[in-house]
Structure 1
Amino acid sequence: MSYLLEGILAVTPQQIVMYLIGTFLIWLAVKKQYEPALLLPMGFGAILVNLPLSGVINQNMAGIGETAGIIQWLFETTIEASEALPILLFIGIGAMIDFGPLLTQPVMFLFGAAAQFGIFFAISLATLLGFDLKDAASIGIIGAADGPTSILVSQILHSRYIGAIAVAAYSYMALVPIIQPAAIKLVTTHKERQIRMTYNPREITKQTKILFPILTTIIVGLIAPASVALVGFLMFGNLLRECGVLDNLAKTAQNELANLITILLGITISFSMRADEFVRVDTLLILAIGLVAFIFDTIGGVLFAKVLNLFLRTKINPMIGAAGISAFPMSSRVVQKLATAESNGNIILMQAVGVNVSGQIASVIAGGLVIKLVGQYL
């Protein structure tokens, strides 16, 4: 009987908190359908790694010695040692993205760049609150609303808070429909949100679509070498999509590969959600700073659009600036939904999509620049 009760008696209050957090993430995935492919495995994994004497992490067992746990092995092999999972996921993401709206309106890339302001604001805030530079830089990347980039940056910089950062990044991605409308309305007027925009697409040649990922990889690799793995795999996935001769591989990357990596990434990252490392005051601070970064990224893109309107004869709807975060395609859909709510029949989706895909690239570049700058400083 004592053997059967050993696990129950070993449960700590902190582990109970993690069971509740894991259950909450599963609830968000199932009931609210917020990023279910990621939040569900993360939530279930958070429960698994916090079970006393759990076989999914390395344990010292009496009479047996140390046993290897599958989740810990996956974490140490595919994230800690190589960052393989978040990088491989970008092949699938790249294969899903159509850069046509961005290539039709290259100026939209400026909005993606402007929407990264929250990252650097959050880094400064985290530093002022006592986090060391490596942890502060990792926390700031939450504002990019890009889970794989957040994981990669925090892992490369050896942040102590990779679990909290991953949870915050993916949670705020899932909460885009709730957070972004409030942030947009905070800095815009009803009249501004009613502005209509004309979309006049031009034909993008196949040659241009093929050259774009190649040239982007070269240029970004020279400017921010630390981001070349993410950008390179993102653009490789896009090249599979656009080359026209590898349709089966492109579909595999979009579906089977992306789904498999997403499942493994979600449950693997839960290793860093063990109670002794997660249930801390620092974690709450990280969640708060991440929310600030996310909101300021949204506001930064909107304010950039408002500044441009001071000089433009034909005004642009400043809400498209909010789509400059990396949460593709959720953010562009949120912007369009808000535009319709403000003015029936107002269609600004394609402009928002152009900004949204530019935000995907800009967030990866920002991550590489942060790694480079922190590395040079240290």
Structure 2
Amino acid sequence: MQTLIKFLENTGFSGLYDDPRYLVMIIIGIIFVALAIMKDYEPLLLVPIGFGIIVGNIPPVAGMSLSVNDRLAEIRVVVDEKTGEPLLDENDEPVTAVHWVGSVLAYLYMGVSQGIYPPLIFLGIGAMTDFSTMLSNPKLVLLGAAAQFGVFATLLGALFLGFTPDQAAAIGIIGGADGPTAIFLATKLAPELLGAIAISAYSYMALVPVIQPPVMYLLTSKEERLIRMKAPRHVSRREKIIFPVVAFLICALIAPGAIVLLGMLFFGNLLKECTVTDRLAQTARTSFIDIVTILLGFTVGASTAADKFLTPQSVMIFALGAASFVVATAAGLLFAKFMNLFLTDKINPLIGAAGVSAVPDSARVVQMVGQKEDPHNFLLMHAMAPNVAGVIGSAIAAGVLWSVLG
């Protein structure tokens, strides 16, 4: 009977009974997977994250190292292999060394906690991104810049709610609608909030088709949504090759903190555009980014253990994340309307919503909303200009915040 009782105490069912928060998180994980499968909401992200949440919320068992949150390193005294006596240094102090321990998940999670996965994701994004539309109509870059207002508005909101400046900056970058950038900055400024920030950023990226349309309808008139834009001009191969080199130099000099993200982004784009490294570009934008996405999504989900994740701070971060997406979308729309006051060739304000860097989902939402008004109005290519500009803008914003606060 004692053996049976001990067995039951060491099952996950006992942990669920002792702390129902784990069950709440498991249900949330199931909802994420269901939304991805049934509603097709960013399935490449929500399926790994959702299942990771389920895996990460099996209640812990004493004495077993299974979680991504298990300690990975401990300091141990180095001993002589023959005598077993501690080794001493020149000051007769014991020599110590870092001993790595922990679960396999904890090792995989190092790619998140050490900021390794985000630059690798940017490499793949660069290899699949076409900057032609942005180069053909450079003024649309301003819409990507305007959407970054969501970052700084959220930062102020986080400060108002009592977060430290470092924490507020890490939360604010959620407004850039860029999951890898949010993770990267959180690892540098607020690692204690990494799980909540990562889940918030990726959750709202997946919900772009739900969040953005109401804001777009609210801030634009039917006449504005019907505006047709001129076809973008042809961009030469030479321009495409020169752009990643020149753009990296300019952006890195403005925000040195963003070098690793922008360096990988523009390197991936150069692989694509130079046409002599097709094999590398093909790998970067297919199998490579898929592997990193699987590892990042699953381990981020697995990091959301209920005892550490379901806190008042996490709730506030989720609320701020939702607000930041709304503010960023509104800022892009309103700035597009402002630009139209001075332009002869009007731009459709809807494309301002694509200034958030949720590539390519926000551009697809622009196309969807525009075609509801006019089935023959094709805005996707135009929307990709502020969309990819938003990727660059969010990385620059992260670099600036890190250099100022780091």
The interval holding the TM-score normalised by the smaller chain is: over 0.9
**Hey, what does 1:9 align to over in structure 2?**
14
Residue of structure 1 equivalent to 2:193: 161
- Is 1:74 the counterpart of 2:108? The answer is yes
Give the Cα–Cα distance (whole angstroms) in 2 for the partners of residues 89 and 302 of structure 1: 28
> How far is 1:43 from its partner?
1.5
Q: Secondary structure at the match of 1:98?
A: coil
CA deviations 1:6-29 (Å, max 9, x no partner) are 222123111111111111111122
Pairing 1:53-202 to 2, within 5 Å after superposition: 53=61, 55-57=65-67, 68-75=102-109, 77-81=110-114, 83-202=115-234
* Partners of 1:293 and 1:27 in 2: CA distance: 25
2:31 alignment partner AA: F
Q: Is the 8 A contact 2:70 2:106 kept in 1?
A: no
Contact residue 54 and residue 302 of structure 2 kept, 8 A: no
- Deviation track 1:314-366 (CA, whole Å, cap 9, x = no partner) reads 32211111111101111111111111111231222221111211111111111
Per the alignment, in what secondary structure is the counterpart of residue 192 of structure 2?
coil
Q: Which amino acid is the alignment partner of residue 252 of structure 2?
A: G
User: Does structure 2 conserve the Cα–Cα contact (< 8 Å) formed by 1:325 and 1:359?
Assistant: yes
In structure 1, what is the Cα distance between the partners aligned to 2:53 and 2:330?
Answer: 32
- Give secondary structure in 2 for the equivalent of 1:197: coil
**C-alpha separation in 2, matches of 1:199 and 1:205:** 15
**Distance in 2 separating the partners of 1:40 and 1:329:** 18
**Structure 1 CA distance for aligned equivalents of residues 174 and 340 of structure 2:** 29
Q: TM-score, normalised by structure 1?
A: 0.93
Residue ranges of structure 1 left out of the alignment (5+ in a row)? 61-65
Give how far 1:39 is off.
1.5
User: Between the two proteins, what is the percent identity of the paired residues?
Assistant: 45
8 Å Cα contact 1:122/1:140 also seen in 2 = yes
1:3 and 1:34 map into 2 onto residues whose CA distance is 43
Provide the alpha-carbon RMSD of the alignment.
1.7
**Aligned runs of 1:195-344 on 2, under 5 Å?**
195-202=227-234, 204-344=235-375
Match of 1:42 among 49, 58, 69: 49
CA distance in 2, matches of 1:224, 1:18: 38
The answer to whether the 8 A contact 2:113-2:191 is kept is no
Alpha-carbon distance, 1:201 to partner: 1.6
1:135-159 deviation line (CA, Å, top 9, x unaligned): 1111111111111001001111134
TM-score, length-scaled by structure 2: 0.87
> Which amino acid is the alignment partner of residue 5 of structure 2?
S
Q: Distance in 2 between matches of 1:246 and 1:223?
A: 29
Contact 1:71 1:267 in 2 (8 A): no
Cα distance, 1:17–1:67 mapped onto 2, change above 3 Å: farther
Q: Give the residue type in structure 2 aligned to 1:155.
A: T
Once the two structures are superposed, residues 248-291 of structure 1 have per-residue CA deviations (whole angstroms, 9 ceiling, x without a partner) of 11111111100000000011223431111111122111111111
Any conservation in 1 of the 2:245–2:266 contact (CA below 8 Å)?
yes
Shift of 1:74: 1.8
Kept in 1, the 8 Å contact 2:137–2:232? The answer is no
**AA of the residue aligned to 1:72:** A
Contact 1:146 1:363 in 2 (8 A): yes
- What amino acid is aligned across from residue 79 of structure 1 in structure 2? V
The verdict on how the C-alpha distance between 1:313 and 1:209 changes in structure 2, with shifts beyond 3 A counting, is: closer
Structure 1 residue matching 2:231: 3-state secondary structure: coil
Q: Which runs of 5+ in 2 are unaligned?
A: 72-99
C-alpha separation in 2, matches of 1:152 and 1:351: 29
Q: Is the 8 A contact 1:118 1:294 kept in 2?
A: yes
Contact 1:72-1:271 at 8 Å conserved across structures? no
TM-superposed CA distance for 1:200, in Å, is 3.9
1:80 to partner: Cα distance: 2.2
SS in 1 for 2:371: helix
Q: Is the 8 A contact 1:138 1:159 kept in 2?
A: no
Distance in structure 1 (CA, Å) of the matches to 2:154 and 2:101? 40
Distance 2:374 2:289 in 1: 37
CA displacement, residues 153-192 of structure 1 (integer Å, 9 cap, x when unaligned): 1111134211111111111111111111111112111121
In our comparison, the structure showing a higher alpha carbon Rg is 2
Residue pair 2:113, 2:187 contacting (<8 A) in 1 also: yes
2:226–2:373 CA contact under 8 A, matched in 1: yes
2:49–2:302 contact (8 Å) kept in structure 1: no
Q: Aligned pair count?
A: 367
Asked whether the equivalents of residues 326 and 356 of structure 1 are also in contact (C-alpha less than 8 Å), the reply is: yes
The separation in 2 between residues aligned to 1:206 and 1:346, in whole angstroms, is: 28
Tell me the equivalent position of 1:352: 383
> What secondary structure does 1:177 align onto?
helix
For the pair 1:32 / 2:39, whether they are aligned, the reply is: yes
Equivalent AA in structure 2 for residue 86 of structure 1: P
Q: Distance in 1 between matches of 2:138 and 2:66?
A: 48
